[in-house]
Structure 1
Amino acid sequence: MRRSGIAGLLGCLLWLSAPPLGWSQDEPVLVDEIVARINSDIITLSALRRAQAELRQELEQQGLTGEALERAYQEASKTLLQQLIDNQLLVQRANELGITVETQINEFLLNWGRQQGIPPAEVEKRLAEAGLDPDQVRQTLRLRFLREAVLAREVYSRIFQNIFDRDVEQYYQQHREEFTEPETVRLSEIFISTQGRSREQALAIVQEIREKLQAGADFGDLAAQYSARPSARNKGDIGTFTLGPRRTLGDAQAKAIEGLKAGDVSAPIELPDGFQLLKVLERQQPRVRPLDAELKRQIQMRLAQQRAEAAVREYIETLRRDAYIWIAPAYREQYAAAETTMANPKKPQ
């Protein structure tokens, strides 16, 4: 199996993983120290240590080392027990709702195997050969998919149900600048270089070109004949540029074409290495994007994302209040922040 394929799966599993939970009463377990009880389930010390090891590994994969790694690890560890408890509550809620995710797990592993060129029947064998416990991989995926399924049904769907047309319209009006397509201009150039000639000689050529333009000569033909830049091969066409606050055109050029309409030619622009004439081929004025169905959908997604964090936090706090949660005395001081959060839930401001 390719190393890059395993590395990718490991990274994905770390990203997906809700830290492994403790033991459910439906499963046999070796004697282990109990860290917390959540309704009828427990979190063991071995599960907590495994989560701590995975947390450190994840931080290392982010490139942290030395003191920076230790600081980040200590800070993230403060809420690790709380995360384990929250994940267990979400899994319990998934069971209450009758949610199953085995099809998603199978599809995920089959898609991963397909990307690596592994036959479906050999996926778990290859995982084992790479040092990954297939059952643990499935459990990690199961926890994540159950968590997301519960939140999708109980939180995200309600968020969308409470985003009304007036919310979308208000966001649209407050962010009109963001939805305004900037003014653009398409230009063609003639560049006369001062290399190998004096400034006066170059300027004389520019004047000759301007006289020919006034007599009705085609700008593109003159660009092909006179211009010293590669754009001459395209009759001087140098493409489309954005004007306004996000301008992609140089200061001198932007100033030279101010007020020019399509078909107009600028005055000569003096540059360090020559003179430039610009012709405005096309000019599009700023345009506010209409609030069509696609933009409405995009705004709904933005509003949902803005509301999601607070909504998820409030939902999990509700699960905590309705649950029996006990933390072993030996871990109460060490995880005081988690215990305080669970015992004294606060509404988001």
Structure 2
Amino acid sequence: MNSLLHVHLLSRKFDEMKEVFSRMEKYARPDTCTYNILINACCLNGHLDDAWNLFDEMQRRGLKPDSVTFGTSNALCMELKINEAFKLKEDMGMIYNVHATTFVYEVMIGGLCRIVIYNNLLSGLFKAGRQDEAFGVFEEMDSNGIQPDTTTYNVMINQFCEVKYFESAYRVLKEMPDKGCKPNVITFNMLIDMLCKDGKWSEANDDLFEGIPRQGCKPDVVSYRTLFDGLCGGLQLEKASFIFDEMIFKGYVPHSVSIHKFVSGLCQGEDIKLLLRVLNSLAKGNAIDEDTWLMVVSRVYQEDNHELSITSQLRDTLLL
């Protein structure tokens, strides 16, 4: 049966292969060789999802993949499914004790180079102000069968953010999942920065920053600093205070310029308790400097009825 399957594979008679395989299960148990032939057929026919399903099925049947099975990484890389290809390579060694051949590595490197070259070209053209050519390269990728990855879309989003094409940036963000690309934290950081610079702080905080975990990502130090800087620059002090608390808890130190704006804004307000709490957090995070300290002391002693307890809190903070 395997020989017959192989003959149909060479002739690319994929429908006949399905028929042979369905009959085969009635008379004989498929082995690793059987699945290798079928997986190869799926890859040749461009049905990579079916190839993965067959790979999973053979493992459920207790069949051990061999070096021929893992040669499917060739097709994966040609389709630029690089992450899947490297995961497959890792499984080869760690789970099945099968090691990749030189050819497999060459294919992986080739797949990586193709997408990296296009991404670098796109980025370079945008930086040079040659937008029309960059968009032409992006279209060329599709015509050449090269699927854009997350980095490709991030380059596009970054460009739209630079020129403040908000709708275009959001359109690319929404398009990514449809194209099989998952946005990463860099994607969201660029959009948050764009919105903050445009004064759209609520949208940056409520829609994007709060939505990052729902996209399977985690905000990083850049996410927090970008949003905090934007909120402080826009004197959105109440929202900034919540972000500030999270940053201190996670060990993320805000930029000194933003700290000064934040504390200065609080000094101009009426909430002395919040001001002292922020000062205490800054001291614990070793993020308070002399100018910030003097600013707070001056503000507290402007109160006509400053209480002894407030003075004590200032003293305790200084001693931290």
Fold conserved between structures, TM > 0.5: no
TM-score, normalising length: structure 1: 0.21
RCO (CA 8 Å, sep 6+): is it higher in 1 or 2?
A: 1
Q: Which structure has the bigger radius of gyration?
A: 1
